[in-house]
Amino acid sequence: MPRRGLAVPRSVCYKRGLDSPACLGFSRASGGCMSSNGLELLDRTVGCGEVSEADAEAGREVVLTGWVHRRRDLGQLIFIEVRDRTGSVQVVFDPSENAEAHKDAEQLRAEYVVGIRGVVRPREQPNPEHPTGMVEVRGHQVALHNRATHVPIQVDDETEASEEIRLKYRYVDLRRPKVQQPLFLRHRLGRAARGVLDGQGFVEVETPMLTRSTPEGARDYLVPSRVHPGKFYALPQSPQLFKQLLMVSGFEKYFQFVRCFRDEDLRADRQPEFTQIDIEMSFATPEKIYGLLEEMVATMFAEIGVKIERPFRRMPYDEAMRRFGIDRPDLRFGMEIQDPGDSVEGTGFRVFDGAIDAGGMVRGIVAPGAASSSSRKVLDGWQEQAKRAGAGGLVWIKLEEGKISSPALKALGEERCKAIAEALGATTGDVALLVADSREICERVLGTLRLSIASELDLIPADRWELCWVEDFPLLEWDEDAGRFVAKHHPFTAPRWDELDKLAEDPGSVRAQAYDLVLNGTEIAGGSIRIHRKDVQDRVFRALGIDEEEAEDKFGFLLGALAAGAPPHGGIAVGFDRTCALLSGCESIRDVIAFPKTTSASCLMTESPSAVDEAQLKELHLKVLDPGPSDKDKEGDR
RNA sequence: GGAGCCGUGGUGCAGUUGGUUAGCACACCGGACUGUCACUCCGGAGGUCGCGGGUUCGAGUCCCGUCGGCUCCGCCA
């Protein structure tokens, strides 16, 4: 059964067309042959969106190929807008000019695939709203390449179907210019980046998609081996080790546009498979990497007509945390975390004193101009957010003309409240927000509030681009669940050479030679100088709780390579999807991926993942222990 | 794993306190129309209200469960 009720005449019409020996063209009710078999109209001479006024003045004959975007049938005159990826243009069929073409055009409907020959003319009634609205094509010949009997969603930039429907019928959704544009930009950004890398002598080398699972990091996607019963390949989370090995092999400068796979829960900016521009160079220093990336990023920005100032700003990790409460600060606006200094000391206010006595601190931010708009409900909302982020509470001080309000007014008194708010930089009309807790919690909570309040108050300028290197990350961080240190970047990141000796006694204090590139609060690239000496790698593995045996078992090839004359090296990887999303103004990376997956990592179009035959499983030596709901059980859902 | 929002003709939405035949727009089909441009006008077809269960004389509406989509937390070296 068809998905929607098809009116009989149309499906009859469709069948008739296919029955015709030359189904590429029209079948006439008379039974006569079509004016064209269509093949001669496969050769487009100009894109629909590229038909120009010069063409009109010259009265140029053109051939268009594309889809019927809109039909305006006035009975005698028929207007057809033809669309291809370059845009659309109006074709007019006038029976007094070409009766045969007009008769053919009567049968055209939305999304039919056509070739049209005609002559470009200036319009009698131009439409300045439309890019090609000054001209039209007088239609002289039509070839119908295909009809469209099931078009589940309208191909229209104005009306948007739900994302669920759009993903299911992605091949139709992708016809919409608005949906195509980000993918075209993605192509141009990729080309720009490649051009810079190629120009600097980088060589693109492919690395395996079927590789081995390694500990640390994200959950792997596994591929069962048919030949080796019970063994599995893993899809790469990144080509990290391979690119290091290429350095050992003397490739000097490597890059790759590479798909990476991580089996973790999805977000607007996370897909299970995503693309990195992976880069590695021998004898690298952070300076060399920064220089390369800055040229690359500036070249990519040039594609959207934005000039980027170089060199980019740099900020140590500690400073980013102190001022912005996050390791990827959004520098498009202020509202930095402030230290109220001695204004909060010795107040007798339990919240403040308690935190300070416990070795913690009091920190705050100012929501500028928020006094009048911050109702009790708004303030409660902020408080709620602060608690969710880990704070015990949130102290607010509202400075209004001649009036100060705060839940701490009683405990602190009006003068104190005013002094504290002013110590944070607040003036009349502002709201000061304070958190008293450990350093980590103060930073995390205020960092979270800073972003959400700025967005709420519309304080983030949409047209600014703020790039920043964040450097001097800690090498390791304590993992409460695992009860051990884990690598903040990855286990092959070099410690600062001058802090190597602290690795054994105080691993948490060692800083890494790692760096992230942050654009408007999003991490778009991250990298490091790698460990190129086996003895250092051994020491880092030990700090991570990986003993010699496990290291040999899982990373033997790397250790072998480091012992075989590995040059100092380092690199970086750019999150290409995220970068494309930011530069094209898309909110989700799904919009810069042709066939993305949903938040449950399935593809609504192909209905993957799917069950497979018993025989296939057997061949792979697999048995499914816990079959989820079968596809049949899910039938009713959509 | 957790929280929130959402699911009604092909598509986007409305649907009151639970009450008659589930309504609107666009799309679709037929007809009319020689300058439209989101053409217009007339007519028509199209729905087990995601799925399952419950409460009720009666459920699109209330309750429970479940599936799916999106956002966020956990997770993502």
Count of CA atoms in the C-beta half-sphere (13 A) of A301: 17
**How many angstroms from the chain centroid is the CA of residue A511?**
29
A109 phi, psi to nearest 5 deg: -135, 170
The residues facing A211 across adjacent strands are: A234
Nearest nt to the A127 alpha carbon by C1': B37
Band the pLDDT of A637: cuts 50, 70, 90. very low
Nearest nt to the A153 alpha carbon by C1': B11
Supply the ipTM of this predicted assembly. 0.93
Secondary structure class of A239 (helix, strand, coil): coil
* Chain B footprint positions (protein CB, under 7 Å): 1, 7, 9-13, 26-30, 32-40, 44-48, 50-52, 66-77
Tell me the C-alpha to C-alpha distance, in Å, between residue A199 and each of A104, A106, A196, A220: 53, 54, 5, 35
pTM: 0.91
Q: Tell me, in Å, how far CA of A111 is from C1' of B35?
A: 23
Band the pLDDT of A23: cuts 50, 70, 90. very low
Among candidates A46, A157, A149, which has minimal Cα distance to A91?
A: A46
Lowest mean pLDDT among A476-485, A487-496, A500-509: A476-485
Q: Tell me, in Å, how far CA of A174 is from C1' of B68?
A: 22
Using CA atoms, how far apart are residues A135 and A409, in angstroms rounded to an integer? 70
Burial level of A553, CB count in 10 A (0-12/13-18/19+)? Answer: exposed
Confidence (pLDDT) at A38: 62
CA angle A441, A443, A447 (to 5 degrees): 120
Cα dihedral sign, A531-A536-A540-A546: positive
Among candidates A278, A315, A309, A320, which has minimal Cα distance to A528?
A: A278
Residue A525, H or E segment = strand A522-529
Q: Tell me, in Å, how far CA of A159 is from C1' of B71?
A: 22
Q: Tell me, in Å, how far CA of A164 is from C1' of B5?
A: 15
Nearest nt to the A219 alpha carbon by C1': B76
Would you give the DSSP letter of residue A568? Answer: P
Q: Is the pLDDT of residue A1 over 50?
A: no
Burial level of A146, CB count in 10 A (0-12/13-18/19+)? Answer: middle
The residues facing A315 across adjacent strands are: A470
CA angle A493, A496, A501 (to 5 degrees): 110
Cα dihedral sign, A486-A488-A492-A495: negative
Which of the pair, A339 or A388, is modelled with greater confidence? A339
Residue A225 backbone zone (phi > 0: left; psi -120 to 50: alpha; other: beta) = beta
Nearest nt to the A637 alpha carbon by C1': B50
Q: Which two tokens stand for residue A568?
A: 């100092």
Q: Is the pLDDT of residue A31 over 60?
A: no
Band the pLDDT of A27: cuts 50, 70, 90. very low
Q: Is the pLDDT of residue A628 over 80?
A: no
Band the pLDDT of A630: cuts 50, 70, 90. low
Burial level of A229, CB count in 10 A (0-12/13-18/19+)? Answer: exposed
The whole-number average pLDDT for the span A546-571 is: 94
Instruction: Report the percent of chain A where pLDDT is more than 70.
Output: 92
Q: Tell me, in Å, how far CA of A212 is from C1' of B44?
A: 63
List of E strands, A235-308: 253-261, 273-282
